[in-house]
A = this chain, B = another copy of it.
Amino acid sequence: MNAESALSTDRPATQTVVIELDERGYDILIGSGLLDAESSWQGLPRAAAALIVSNETVAPLYLERLRASLLKVYPRVEAVLLADGEEFKDWDSLNRIFDHLLGGAMDRKTVLFALGGGVVGDMTGFAAAVYMRGVPFVQVATTLLAQVDSSVGGKTAINHPLGKNMIGAFYQPARVIADLDTLDTLPARELSAGLAEIIKYGPIADAAFLEWIELNLEALLARDKKALAYAVKRCCEIKAWVVGQDEREQGLRAILNFGHTFGHAIETGLGYGKWLHGEAVGCGMVMASDLSVRMGLMPAEFLPRMQRLISRAGLPVRGPQLGLQRYLELMRVDKKAEGGQIRFVLVEGLGRAGMHAAPDALVGDVLASHCDQ
Contact = CB atoms under 8 A, between A and B. Distances in A.
Contact of A163 (B102, B169, B248): B102
A170 B133 contact: yes
State the oligomeric state as a number of copies. 2
Contact of A338 (B48, B102, B130): B48
Interface residues of A, number: 37
A333 interface: yes
A95 B105 contact: no
Main secondary structure of the interface of A (DSSP, over half): mixed
Nearest to A109: B338
Interface stretch (A9-17, A154-162, A276-284): A154-162
A91 interface: yes
A187 interface: no
Contacts of A126: 130
26 contacts: A48-B340, A91-B91, A91-B95, A98-B166, A98-B167, A102-B166, A103-B162, A105-B333, A105-B340, A107-B335, A107-B337, A107-B338, A108-B335, A108-B338, A130-B130, A130-B167, A130-B168, A131-B167, A132-B166, A133-B157, A133-B169, A133-B248, A133-B249, A133-B335, A134-B169, A169-B169
Given A98-B160, A108-B338, 5 more contacts: A105-B332, A107-B340, A108-B335, A109-B338, A129-B169
